[in-house]
Amino acid sequence: MGENSGPAPASEDQISAIPLVRVTGGQARDNLQCAICMVDLRENDEAKRLSCSHYFHDKCISRWLRLRGTCPTCRVTLDGDNTTNGEYFSGLPNQHQQQQ
């Protein structure tokens, strides 16, 4: 035990490949918010948009992804794998079986 069996942190190349986009007026009116720092994204702010379509401040998501390679909102990895469903975890060794 003691090993982290979750997704690995994202590489710097993966983080820099995430598109930086400008927040539109419509998104700002819909109260688009960075789920890491909880600050509203305003029209014309630059934000990183993950493949799952969640938006974050560049500095916030870059720091997060260096520790955890998943979206902080939905836990999808940068390559699109869903880490919250049974299909992902069925491929991981069972902790109980490892201890026997």
What is the per-residue pLDDT for 6? 76
Q: In what order do the strands lie in the sheet with 46-49?
A: 20-22, 46-49, 55-56
Q: Range of 43's domain? A: 12-93
Dihedral (Cα; 35, 36, 41, 44), 10-degree rounding = -130
What is the per-residue pLDDT for 68? 93
pLDDT at residue 80 tops 90:
no
Residue 99 lies in a domain: no
Q: Residue 56: give its domain's CATH number.
A: 3.30.40.10
pLDDT, tens only, 84-99: 544 444 454 554 444 4
Query: Which residues, 6+ apart, have CB-to-CB distance to 24 below 8 Å?
Result: 43
Q: What is the pTM of this model?
A: 0.74
pLDDT, tens only, 14-70: 999 999 999 999 999 999 999 999 999 999 999 999 999 999 999 999 999 999 999
Residue 1 lies in a domain: no
